[in-house]
Amino acid sequence: MMFSGSSLHVKVEMFWRLLVLCCLCVAYVECNGGKRLMCYFSSDSPKTKGYGRYTANEIPLELCSDVIYRGVAFPEWKSGSYYFNNEEIQRLGAYIYTIKARSSTVRNHISILERGSEALSYSIMAEIPERRRAYVKAVLELLEQYGLNGVEIAWEWPGTQVKFGGISSDRESLISLLTDVRAGLKSRNKELLFFGAVYPKVLRESYRVTSICQLVDFVTLFTFDMRPHTNNVADVHAPMRNRSFETESNRARTNIVDGVETWIDFGCPPKKLILGLGLFGQAYTLANPAIYNVGAPTVGPGAEGQYYYEGYYPYYELCLLISSGWNIFYDPIGQMPFAVRGNQWMSYEDTNSIGVKMNFVQEKRLGGVILQYVDYDDFWGFCGSRNPLTTYIYQ
């Protein structure tokens, strides 16, 4: 086929315009100065019943700069080596195959989790050099095998009894572990993430913040689900600031503003901090339905929903639920909505509360946000458009 000179010139010009447009579309995922929109994908979500079932095909890869597969269980120690569970790794392989078939630009990471109420696997491994080397070897082999871009160390929480346990040497062992993982990843051009708490006790006793932030690429912050049902107090799960009724020492500064500012004050560059956003509702049962303000006494978790365990609702379920006769209120200090119906009380994120948090990310020049979980968003479009919260954050 022959083209005239002017025709060829037009076609070449159109080609370059399309190429630039495509590059801009790819780059737009990391808009606003390279900020990341990281999306946790729950490894359990393909097993969720009914409309809650969510697979790698549903992840909005056009919105997420990174997807973190959260996760695989801590590997088992056998005969001087660590081994990941074969069944879990097979599921990971199928997931990665689907993601890579759908997108060549999204980054893929894996989160390695401890499970169980007395989990000491990280403590034992990190303290013993032989086990630490074996752990790093197992992780590097996993990353190479599936072409992953990095790993998140999800150690909850070292050297403290706040949640799972730990031993007194964890504070130093954590640095040894991150040093060894960093050394292994550096030559492979892969990223190291650390899942970090904002509890004052953990920040004081478990972390050497400056050292952590020198070693890792990003700290993914646990700035959601900060108000356990065991407190027996109705409260929003990710408050911006604390309220006057919160006087207990560890709780009094467990909020987004104090948590982020403490990480920064302790020596972490803001650009390495990734703010966690929970796309779920946390429900309580009120002790007295007539007393329903923030801080009201409760007797435990709220009623169990269709998809998850007692007291937690993914956004795609709660957005329908609260439109069926619930009264909606707003906590002006915590800066989050909550809804009440009878003796049921639920806090959740909406575009208003997320907007406040996004402004805070901009103000503090943080590295971006991470969603817990992307599969909790309204991916079916039950309440309107699909993935409304993820899309709002992306835009």
Q: Is the pLDDT of residue 45 over 90?
A: yes
What is the pLDDT, as a whole number, of residue 342? 98
What is the pLDDT, as a whole number, of residue 166? 81
What is the pLDDT, as a whole number, of residue 309? 85
Query: 3-state DSSP call for residue 151?
Result: strand
Q: Can you state the percent helix, strand and coil of the chain, rounding each to 5? A: 40, 20, 40
What is the share, in percent, of the chain residues with pLDDT greater than 90? 82
What is the pLDDT, as a whole number, of residue 2? 36
Tokens of 198: 């904002």
Domains in the chain: ranges and CATH: 36-279+349-394 (3.20.20.80)
Tokens of 42: 């729950």
Q: Note the pLDDT tens digit of each residue in 142-186.
A: 999 999 999 999 998 898 655 556 888 999 999 999 999 999 998
Among 12-21, 229-238, 283-292, 375-384, which is the least confidently predicted range? 12-21
- Decide which of 116 and 278 is more confident: 278
204 Cβ contact partners less than 8 Å away, ≥ 6 residues apart = none
- Decide which of 336 and 13 is more confident: 336
Query: 3-state DSSP call for residue 57?
Result: coil
Q: Note the pLDDT tens digit of each residue in 78-110.
A: 999 999 999 999 999 999 999 999 999 999 999
Confidence label for 19 from pLDDT (cuts 50, 70 and 90): very low
Tokens of 234: 């109705």
Q: What is the mean pLDDT of residues 113-126?
A: 81
Confidence label for 76 from pLDDT (cuts 50, 70 and 90): very high
What is the torsional sign of CA 186, 187, 189, 192?
Answer: negative
What is the torsional sign of CA 112, 118, 123, 125?
Answer: negative
Instruction: List the Cα angle 224/225/231 in 5-degree steps.
Output: 140
Confidence label for 252 from pLDDT (cuts 50, 70 and 90): confident
Residue 37 in contact with residue 395, Cβ under 8 Å? no
Q: Is the pLDDT of residue 3 over 50?
A: no
Instruction: Give the span between the Cα atoms of 353 and 224, in whole angstroms.
Output: 12
Q: What is the pTM of this model?
A: 0.91
